[in-house]
Amino acid sequence: MNHRFFIPAGLWAIVLLLCGALLQAEETNGPEDFFSRFQNPPRDCSVMPFWFWNDVLDDAEIRRQIADFEAHGVYGFVIHPRIGLPQDSGWMSPRLLEAMRVALEEARSRKMYVILYDEGMYPSGSSAGQVAEKNPRFAARGLFQVELKEGEEAQEHPQELWDLITVLDRPDGKRVAIYERPSGGVIRGLHYINEESGRPQEFLPKAGDILSPEAVACFMELVYDRYYAEFAEFFQDGTVMAIFTDEPSELGRGAQRGVVPGNARALKRVSELLGYDFTPYLADLWDAKTPEAQKRRRDYFRAVHQVLIETYYEKLSAWCKAHGIALCGHPANSNDLASERVFQIPGQDIVWRYVEPGDKAISGEHSTNAKAASSAMTNFGRTRNLNELYGAYGHNLTFEEVKWLANWVLIRGQNLLVPHAFYYSVRGPRLEERPPDVGPNSAWWNDGFREYADACRRISWLNTGTPVIHVAVLTDGVAVPDAPCRPLFENQLDFNYVQMEQALADGYADAEGLHLAGQTYKAVVLPCMGDREPQGFRESKMMKTLEASGRLMSWTWNANAFAEKAAQLVHDGNSDVVRVSGTNASAIRLRQERLMGVECVLLFNEKDQPAEITLANLPAGKRFWLDAATGEKTPCESVEKITFGKFEMKILAVKP
């Protein structure tokens, strides 16, 4: 008989308070304790890979692989049901849940952490097609335009599940009917079809309508409530750390051409958010040739994104908070900051070689994602933020690239790495499913992985401190900009993205700059956003104060002049920001963290050429170099002419 340890809810609250007090006491022990903590940081700072459950599940094999993870410095994982599972281990089936319990019990016995994945397989919000099976109207839906012939009347229900929204006369004289209809979108499923053929296909369940409150409630009942009913004890004892929701899509994958996100209820909310009835302008979603139509189109998509946040993300977040865990995962777009505010652990992902050494590391929409997630962590008072990385980088991925990409996200302030992925099985077609395996089936598993995992855990812990950041780059949150960031990175001016609405609601300005979430931004960058700015933003008291104090900067394409102005504002007066100079200094990325009374300076040579730099404006105290792979510290004799090999990370700790 299994004897499980239960703590009554009231007693559990007392236990949590006591543990919190002990942790707080430990944190206040100060610099003397910092170095021992750096050697052995908390296990929840470990890399926590996607663990692809993609074949026949065996209890003994699950336990064996978990033990192997622990032996290689991996103290947590995301259980990710994946394509390749047999039919008898379908989504939320008794066999799958039994296997999850085995993994949870083994993790608990080893003091490891588990993140539950909320879909089979992705994008999230469909419960592997079960939402649509409950009610055909819960399948993903959207808006669709049909051009009417002369004299033709629109039909209320021309096809099954089609609903007429309105009929419009367009400026070009044509009449169109706007319908709400199924999008035809699907998600990737868990089972191969005809696997033995050598060219198997994937079963593709219908996507759910995540803009429908009823469909989202059905999804949560099927998945979130079911998880708690099955695994409440692991929520309560802390083994389950979070639930991961993965790039939800309003239309699903492979939606019919011409369908745009929305439904009748969402349209009503869009009109409320915009302050005018959008219905007469729906045709602009398909034909936006005039400037007014283009603006209305942008208005609609920004508003419908807010509907997604309210209908989907906020509901999941509230559920997780009520059940004592975090909502984690990431939105569909790399430059989406607006969605991050509701995650207890904001996140992003880097797949398909979105980011590589060179220009892709510092330019383009995907180059923004790590900074967007870490900014959300600071802006919204979180302590953690994650990145899912390495997915579909291909079998040619090298271990040097693995370490480079980890350092790329860490230097941008991320502190929970989710490698994509560890494969339960590489049998048959599984080896080629979004490769590579970066864990037990990789060439480096027994040749360097432990050092990599230990280094990631230590730097992730450092990134739970208080960052020293004095530059804010303003954004509407729907699409954070990349252009102003390159000169900031290349001049070691760390920054946070700040959503304009949050700055107005939660921040204030004075002669020192913008104050928000415990940060003081001495330089506030306002990119050119045109009609994407909130109404009255430039005329607000906050913006007028920043402008009058000289703290407000407009982005110009003269990168050198822009960087010089930002540096002048940041370093003016009593600056606490470390300065960097030297040969190839533009290759160095810098992040400062304050943790347990120690000033930590993380320096990463992002390029494949050597650099030699000198540091200035360091705080007073004893200086030590920290080795992230071993946890050792050595005295720092000089901060002049510090040499970096290509892709090298160095960590300087200053003990006051």
Please tell me the predicted confidence (pLDDT) of residue 530: 67
The candidate with the shortest Cα–Cα distance to 435, out of 396, 409, 408, is 396
DSSP three-state, residue 96: helix
CA atoms within 13 A on the CB side of 30: 3
Q: Are 567 and 560 in contact (CB under 8 A)?
A: no
Q: Are 580 and 588 in contact (CB under 8 A)?
A: yes
Question: Cα(82)–Cα(424) distance, rounded to whole angstroms?
Answer: 10
Choice between 549 and 535, residue whose per-residue pLDDT is larger: 549
DSSP 478-515: SS--STTHHHHHHTT--EEEEEHHHHHHH-EEETTEEE
Q: Are 416 and 386 in contact (CB under 8 A)?
A: yes
Is the pLDDT confidence value at 533 over 60?
yes
Task: Find the Cα–Cα–Cα–Cα dihedral 395, 398, 399, 403, rounded to 10°.
Answer: -110
* Percentage above 90 pLDDT, the chain: 85
Domain edges within the chain: 1-39+578-656, 44-117+333-464, 468-575
Helix 449-462 vs helix 31-39: crossing angle, to nearest 10: 150
Helix 314-322 vs helix 213-220: crossing angle, to nearest 10: 30
pLDDT tens figures, 574-599: 789 999 999 999 999 999 999 999 99
Please tell me the predicted confidence (pLDDT) of residue 29: 62
Please tell me the predicted confidence (pLDDT) of residue 212: 97
Is the pLDDT confidence value at 195 over 70?
yes
The candidate with the shortest Cα–Cα distance to 2, out of 104, 153, 126, 96, is 104
What pTM value is reported for the model?
0.92
- Lowest mean pLDDT: which of 261-265, 479-483, 570-574? 570-574
Contacts of 403 (CB under 8 A, 6+ apart): 452, 647
Is the pLDDT confidence value at 16 over 50?
no
Mean pLDDT of the 168-177 span: 88
Q: Which two tokens stand for residue 138?
A: 């819960």
pLDDT band per the 50, 70, 90 thresholds, residue 20: very low
Mean pLDDT of the 125-141 span: 97
Question: Cα(444)–Cα(440) distance, rounded to whole angstroms?
Answer: 8
Pick among 3.30.310.50, 3.40.47.10, 2.60.40.1180, 3.40.50.2000: CATH of 1-39+578-656: 2.60.40.1180
Domain 468-575 top-level CATH class: alpha beta
Mean pLDDT of the 226-242 span: 98
Mean pLDDT of the 329-354 span: 94
Detail the DSSP E strand segments found in 54-162: 76-81, 113-117, 141-148
Q: What is the bridge-based pairing of β-strands 422-423 and 50-53?
A: parallel
HEC secondary structure over 583-638: ECHHHEEEEEEEECCEEEEEEEECCCCCEEEEEECCCCCEEEEECCCCCCEEECCC
Question: Cα(620)–Cα(201) distance, rounded to whole angstroms?
Answer: 63
Question: Cα(563)–Cα(488) distance, rounded to whole angstroms?
Answer: 6
pLDDT band per the 50, 70, 90 thresholds, residue 260: very high
Is the pLDDT confidence value at 6 over 60?
no
Instruction: Please provide residue 625's backbone torsions phi and psi, each rounded to the nearest 5 degrees.
Output: -85, 135
Across the chain, mean pLDDT equals 92
pLDDT band per the 50, 70, 90 thresholds, residue 536: confident
pLDDT band per the 50, 70, 90 thresholds, residue 557: confident
Instruction: Please provide residue 566's backbone torsions phi and psi, each rounded to the nearest 5 degrees.
Output: -60, -45
pLDDT band per the 50, 70, 90 thresholds, residue 31: confident
